[in-house]
Every structure is written in C-alpha cells, then in structure tokens.
A and B are shown apart, each in its own frame.
Chain A
C-alpha cells in the first residue's frame, strides 16, 4: 500500500468512526419523552404518568415516572404497573413499585418470540394503580403513548472516542515524522539486546533454538507482537544456519507462524532450508502442550529458548525445564500473573508493554518506532490528567475533578 493510500485509509477510518455520531442527534430527539395524557382521578390515583426512553441503548427499555400527592404517600403501600398497546385495550401486569417510589424501569425483552417482547418505535400505554395500606385500589392512571427506540450512538462513550481519535492522530503524526528521517530515540531493552547474542551462542554450540508462541490465539496482541519478533529471529537464524523449532498450541497460530518463518527464510535467501516440519502443531490442550514442549527441550537440548506471547500456568513449567537444560531464556508476556515466574526463572523478561514494543526495536522500522513514540505521548497525557485529577480532589476543586473524570 502506498503512503498516500494509507493516509487516505486513516482519514476514511476516522470519518467512519465519527459518522455514526451525526444522525444520532435526530434520533436522540425522537427519543424524547412525549407529553403524557394526564388523567386526574380522585385522590389516591397517581398523576402525571410520564414515560421516557432510556438513552444510549438498543431500545426496549422505558423509564416510567408518576407523581403522587405527598399527603397520601404514607397511606399507599405500593403501586402496580401495567403495560398495553392501546389506552382502552388489554393491559399486562409488569410488576410493582414500593411505597414512596414513583419510578419504574420497564425492561422488555429484545427477543421477538418472547412473551415479554417490547418492540421499538411502537406505541405503548401504561397504567399505574396505587394500592392503599388496607388493600383498596385506586382508579388507574393511564399515560401514553410512549415509544422506545434504539440509538445510533452511545453518547456516554464520547470521551473514549475522543481518546481513540487523539491517539490515532499522534500515531499518524509520529509515523510521518519518523518516515521523514527524524531520529527517534528509544531506550535500550536488555531482553532485546540479548537476542543476537543468544542466537549466536546457539550457532556456536551447534544446538537448535526453541521459539514458543504461547497458548494465545492469533489475535491476542501478545501473539501478534510475537509473530513480528519471530520473523526477525527466523531471519537471523536462517542467516546463521541454525535450527529453529516452533511447536504450536493453536492451529491458526501455527499457520501464521509457518508463513512468517517461511518468508523470513526467503528474505534471508535460504528458502530451501525451510520446512513445515519446523513449525508444527502439538495439541491444543494446555498441559499436553507443555508435556510435549518439555519433551522437545530435554531431548533436543536447545541452547536458546524464547517464550514470547500469551502464557498461563505453564510458564513456570517451561521456564524451569528450560533452566535445567542450561538454555539461555528470553521471555515476554502481557499476562500479569505470569510475569513474576518468567522474571524469576528466565535470563531476560519483557514486561507487559515491553513485549509489544520489542517488535519496533528489532525492526527499527520508522512506522513502528513512530507508534512507540505515540504510545509514550498517550502515557504522558494520561499521567498529566491523573495528576490533575488527584490534585483537584486533594484541594477540593470538585469542578476540575469532575471535568477530568469526564475526560477520562
């Protein structure tokens, strides 16, 4: 894809993200409450039954409120609520509200076949009856018609949208800066610096390299980051003519990994050395996979083990077995529960976000470095916002605090 087109794609994406926001205004107004037909009845009957669509949802929900004279409120035990299609038609009992409560949230079913189904954009009438302490019922108060509707846009999520758009903007900005040749500094990461050395060591010893992608799916961010690193490692390995073993847990991950390694070998000019037997499927039962990989470790004795991706309980089994065979181990995961085990049992560990960043480090690709810089900016802005929020709270500037809360 050419740069121009890529930028165009970004613009289109932003427009598309924003687009749903536009018609929302009309829809929003449509959903406004309609004036109720008020029916005044002798005292104990409720008055002013109002129905209002609940905003920011897919419809099928209506908030009902009514008034009741204060002097009567103690003598009324509860209110009964009914819903019907016409003011003089049949009403279906919905439930009741307790003493002193004059609102009711009617949540209908979204499923058409359900008896409780509540169609959107359909006129409904509501009937409220007050029940006195002695059990006598008031005349019904009927309000309507009211409608529920689905909205095209969830207004409560606007801040998130703003954040995402802003972040996208930073990404584009820094990617462009990087492409124009601006040098971006990145601090060294020990785990990444060790990659070359670790591959070199395996070559010297004439032993294979084991690369474990974890037990995530091909769409876990950690696995995606790991694919990029695998590509770099595979290229180096092909250049050095060392063996690479990639046992996989998930068949889709395996398919992708095969493509990644194959093209890395091609780039290194050694397509003939690649075989699908290097990147293979073990099984997708967690511990059977571990048993299999353990077996590979103690029998093929790799000099270097990479564990990069999504890991669960197996992390420590792998890392300890790897340690017992004396391999250099480089690990990285975004699973917070497993990071401690890698830190303890491996030589180098990429913690959380460092794993995502690693692909940029290895590639030195301006695109990836640019997005790294954007992430830093994102962090910076968040930190400032959080600091402002906390300070505002501390000094009791509630207005500012609320503002920050809304922004976040």
Chain B
C-alpha cells in the first residue's frame, strides 16, 4: 500500500508543475538517500559477520578475512575519529589516494586485457550472426589504423554503422525497455510484482 501511494505520488507529480510538489519531490529524494546510509550499516554488519565466521571456523583462506576486517576497522577509525570531524584529514585522504585509487584503476584497466581475450575467443565466423558481430567489430577497430585512402572509406563506413544500424537498434531496445519499465511500474503499483518484498 505504501508503495502504491508513494509511486502514485511520483507519477502524479510529473503532471503537476506546482512548486510545493517540486519541494516534496526533492524531499523524497533526500529521504531515500538517507535511508540508503542506514542500509549501509546493514551491509557492514553482513560483511563483518561473514568474515568473522570465516575466521572463527578457520575456513579456507580465513587469513585474508582478517585483512578485510582490519582494512574495514582502520578505515572506520580514521574516518570517524572524534575531533577530526570531517573527511579532509590527512590519513583518510591518503588511504583513498594510495590504496583505493590505484586498485580501482587497475581493476578497471584489466578490461583492456579481457576485452582482447573476449574478442579473440568469441569473434569467430561460426554463424551468420557471429560473422556480422565480427565484421562490425573489425570495421570499427581498424578505423584506427592509418592506411591511406582505405582509411577514409573505413571512416565513412564506421560512421555509417554508428549512425544507422546503431541508432536504429538502440531505439528499438530503448522503446522496448521503456514499455517494459512502464509495465513493471504498473505491476509494482498494483502489487502484481512483489518479489522485491520477499514473496511472490
């Protein structure tokens, strides 16, 4: 019922340009963000429990669970020490820049390798569809390679692929997703889809 009312409000507000409604909307967004932070506590609790159990049971790789918990605790202490008051403290920033940032960037850059291995494995002329996938991928990739006159043809062709089939396919997908999204929203409002409440 709550869901019904709240989502109904959101739908109705779309049609109502009045100020007070806009403020309501802003409030609702703020609230969900705040509740999200409370939820994070649940997450931390879950993380703590899983790793703590691992250590207690001396499960495989339990030593690493210690590292996770140590990282968690140290970072929490650094971030919450009373008196430091905000996040501009030296240690906290260094944890961010010299531990989180490098690992994050490196995980991200693993993609350069995975994208090449995926291309190597999957871009095979097995069937018509796979061949088309292969062909379009290759055209786009070799537009990078300077080959004199050929390059400008490739550049035109890749531009065409991006403008025509790409545009059309994305439109079709977007329209489909749009309808699906509206239908799902309806199903939620009317309580047909209730999996998110843990039952169906």
Which residues from chain A sit less than 8 Å from chain B, CB to CB? 1, 6, 9-10, 13, 16-17, 20-21, 56-60, 110, 120, 150-154, 157, 160-161, 164, 167-168, 171, 175, 218, 221, 224-225, 227-228, 230-231, 248, 250-252, 254-256, 258-260, 262-263, 276-277, 280-288, 290-291, 299, 313, 316-317, 319-321, 323, 334, 336, 339, 341, 343-345, 351-353, 356-357, 359, 363, 367-368, 371-372, 374-375, 378-379, 382
Shortest 3 CB-CB contacts between residues of A and residues of B: A259-B198, A251-B43, A353-B176
B191 engages A227 (CB within 8 Å): no
Q: What bracket does the count of chain B residues touching chain A fall in?
A: 35 or more
Write out the residue numbers on chain B whose beta carbons fall within 8 Å of the beta carbon of A16.
Answer: 8, 12
- Complex Cα distance, B128 from A314, in Å, reads 28
- Complex Cα distance, B177 from A378, in Å, reads 12
Known contacts: A152-B16, A316-B118, A341-B118. The answer to whether A374 contacts B183 by CB under 8 A is yes
- A344: which of B61, B111, B119 is its contact (CB, 8 Å)? B119
- Complex Cα distance, B198 from A371, in Å, reads 21
Give B157 Cβ to nearest chain A Cβ, in Å: 19
In the complex, residue of chain A having the shortest beta-carbon distance to the beta carbon of B174: A336
CB within 8 Å of A: which of B152-190? 170, 173-177, 179-190
A252 engages B11 (CB within 8 Å): no
Given pairs A152-B18, A288-B103, A375-B179, 7 additional interface contacts (CB within 8 A): A153-B15, A218-B196, A250-B43, A277-B50, A291-B107, A379-B175, A379-B176
- Complex Cα distance, B198 from A263, in Å, reads 6
In the complex, residue of chain B having the shortest beta-carbon distance to the beta carbon of A149: B18
- A251: which of B39, B117, B187, B190 is its contact (CB, 8 Å)? B39
- A353: which of B12, B119, B173 is its contact (CB, 8 Å)? B173
- Complex Cα distance, B191 from A371, in Å, reads 13
List 6 A-B pairs, Cβ < 8 Å.
Answer: A20-B12, A154-B15, A160-B14, A167-B183, A251-B39, A288-B104
CB within 8 Å of A: which of B1-36? 4, 8, 11-12, 14-19, 21-22, 36
A255 engages B192 (CB within 8 Å): no
Give B109 Cβ to nearest chain A Cβ, in Å: 10
Would you call B151 an interface residue if the criterion is a C-beta within 8 Å of the partner chain's C-beta atoms?
no
Write out the residue numbers on chain A whose beta carbons fall within 8 Å of the beta carbon of B200.
Answer: 228, 231, 260, 263, 363
Known contacts: A9-B4, A175-B192. The answer to whether A317 contacts B49 by CB under 8 A is no
- A154: which of B17, B49, B189 is its contact (CB, 8 Å)? B17
- Complex Cα distance, B144 from A363, in Å, reads 47
Contact with A along B133-149 (1 / 0, CB 8 A): 10000000000000000
In the complex, residue of chain A having the shortest beta-carbon distance to the beta carbon of B48: A281
Across chains A and B, the number of contacting residue pairs, with CB separation under 8 Å, is: 225
Majority DSSP secondary structure for residues of A touching B: helix
Write out the residue numbers on chain B whose beta carbons fall within 8 Å of the beta carbon of A221.
Answer: 177, 180-181, 184-185
Write out the residue numbers on chain B whose beta carbons fall within 8 Å of the beta carbon of A339.
Answer: 173
Write out the residue numbers on chain B whose beta carbons fall within 8 Å of the beta carbon of A336.
Answer: 170, 173-174
B192 engages A368 (CB within 8 Å): yes
Write out the residue numbers on chain A whose beta carbons fall within 8 Å of the beta carbon of B175.
Answer: 379, 382
Write out the residue numbers on chain A whose beta carbons fall within 8 Å of the beta carbon of B22.
Answer: 58
A352 engages B47 (CB within 8 Å): no
Known contacts: A353-B176, A371-B192. The answer to whether A157 contacts B15 by CB under 8 A is yes
Would you call B69 an interface residue if the criterion is a C-beta within 8 Å of the partner chain's C-beta atoms?
no
B16 engages A167 (CB within 8 Å): no
Give B190 Cβ to nearest chain A Cβ, in Å: 6
Give A265 Cβ to nearest chain B Cβ, in Å: 11
B103 engages A227 (CB within 8 Å): no
Known contacts: A231-B200, A254-B42, A259-B198. The answer to whether A316 contacts B111 by CB under 8 A is yes
Known contacts: A17-B11, A20-B15, A287-B103. The answer to whether A276 contacts B49 by CB under 8 A is yes
Give A166 Cβ to nearest chain B Cβ, in Å: 11
Write out the residue numbers on chain A whose beta carbons fall within 8 Å of the beta carbon of B81.
Answer: none
Write out the residue numbers on chain B whose beta carbons fall within 8 Å of the beta carbon of A13.
Answer: 4, 8, 189-190
A284 engages B12 (CB within 8 Å): no
Would you call B199 an interface residue if the criterion is a C-beta within 8 Å of the partner chain's C-beta atoms?
yes
Known contacts: A287-B107, A317-B110. The answer to whether A17 contacts B12 by CB under 8 A is yes
Give A194 Cβ to nearest chain B Cβ, in Å: 17
A299 engages B61 (CB within 8 Å): yes
A375 engages B196 (CB within 8 Å): no
Known contacts: A157-B15, A313-B111, A352-B177. The answer to whether A375 contacts B198 by CB under 8 A is no
Give B24 Cβ to nearest chain A Cβ, in Å: 12
Known contacts: A291-B107, A378-B179. The answer to whether A356 contacts B115 by CB under 8 A is no
Write out the residue numbers on chain B whose beta carbons fall within 8 Å of the beta carbon of A224.
Answer: 184, 188, 193, 195-196
Known contacts: A57-B17, A154-B15. The answer to whether A277 contacts B49 by CB under 8 A is yes
- B46: which of A281, A317, A323 is its contact (CB, 8 Å)? A281
